[in-house]
């Protein structure tokens, strides 16, 4: 009887881990996360007459933002902001991005060197959480939940950029 209770108690955490449910949304890549690019984006294929892309050249960095749409067999299923399908191993590899009235994805347009020796690289997609108009800065949330204020001139806010395309879109009616 004691063995049966012990086995049940030891198996409960494994049963709970197997049933992890993740709500879709924006997540931030954590340090030491492992990932695989499953499919490139259509943008990666432009100008490539052979239709072959070296997906091993796509590098993700801690602090970047991805859109999670599922979690299966211990892997997050995501799209990066460019539309690449990327899988991340393990529940700890991503952290849900904090959402507020002004949060959005931004793309770095220049490198920023931090005093701790780390960098925020040009081309990274980062999570924007605030703006300080008086100091002309944007606050981004990085790996581990750290927030950093960066110059507004070093980032483009994607939601603002994309809104123009959304407003000018030609909308079709879905049929059958």
| Model confidence pTM above 0.85 | no
26 secondary structure, DSSP code: E
Answer whether residue 117 shows pLDDT above 90.
no
148 falls within a domain:
yes
**End position of a domain, from candidates 96, 125, 141:** 96
Helical segments of 21-137, H only: 42-45
Mean pLDDT of 87-110: 94
**Residue 94 · residue 29 · CB < 8 Å:** yes
CA distance 156 to 159: 9
- pLDDT higher for 35 or 8? 35
109 falls within a domain:
yes
92 and 53 together in one domain: yes
Answer whether residue 174 shows pLDDT above 80.
yes
Report the pLDDT value the prediction gives residue 54, as an integer from 0 to 100. Answer: 74
Answer whether residue 88 shows pLDDT above 90.
yes
6 falls within a domain:
no
pLDDT tier for residue 40 given thresholds of 50, 70 and 90: confident
Q: Give the CA-trace dihedral at 108, 48, 41, 91, to 10 degrees.
A: -80
Mean pLDDT of 167-175: 90
Q: Say which residues have a Cβ less than 8 Å from residue 87's Cβ, sequence separation at least 6.
A: 35, 36, 38, 75, 76, 77, 78
* Structural domain boundaries enclosing 36: 20-96
pLDDT tier for residue 135 given thresholds of 50, 70 and 90: very high
Q: CATH number, domain at 128? A: 2.30.30.40
pLDDT tier for residue 10 given thresholds of 50, 70 and 90: very low
* Encoded tokens for 62: 């801690």
Answer whether residue 29 shows pLDDT above 50.
yes
45 and 89 together in one domain: yes
Report the pLDDT value the prediction gives residue 167, as an integer from 0 to 100. Answer: 86
Answer whether residue 75 shows pLDDT above 90.
yes
Helical segments of 25-73, H only: 42-45
Answer whether residue 4 shows pLDDT above 90.
no
160 falls within a domain:
yes
**For the chain, what is the domain count?**
2
Report the pLDDT value the prediction gives residue 137, as an integer from 0 to 100. Answer: 96
86 and 129 together in one domain: no
**Residue 97 · residue 127 · CB < 8 Å:** yes
72 and 110 together in one domain: no
126 falls within a domain:
yes
């Amino acid at each position: 009887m004691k063995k049966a209770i012990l086995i049940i108690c030891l198996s409960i955490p494994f049963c709970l881990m197997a049933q992890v449910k993740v709500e879709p949304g924006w997540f931030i890549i954590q340090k030491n996360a492992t990932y695989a690019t499953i499919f490139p984006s259509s943008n990666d294929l432009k100008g490539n007459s052979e239709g072959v892309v070296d997906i091993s050249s796509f590098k993700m960095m801690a602090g970047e933002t991805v859109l999670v749409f599922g979690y299966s067999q211990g892997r997050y299923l995501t799209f990066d902001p460019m539309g690449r399908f990327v899988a991340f191993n393990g529940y700890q590899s991503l952290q849900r991005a904090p959402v507020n009235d002004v949060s959005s994805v931004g793309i770095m347009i220049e490198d920023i060197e931090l005093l701790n020796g780390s960098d925020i690289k040009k081309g990274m997609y980062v999570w924007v959480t605030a703006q300080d108009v008086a100091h002309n800065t944007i606050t981004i949330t990085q790996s581990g939940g750290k927030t950093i204020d960066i110059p507004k001139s070093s980032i483009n806010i994607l939601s603002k950029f994309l809104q123009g395309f959304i407003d000018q879109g030609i909308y079709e009616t879905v049929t059958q």
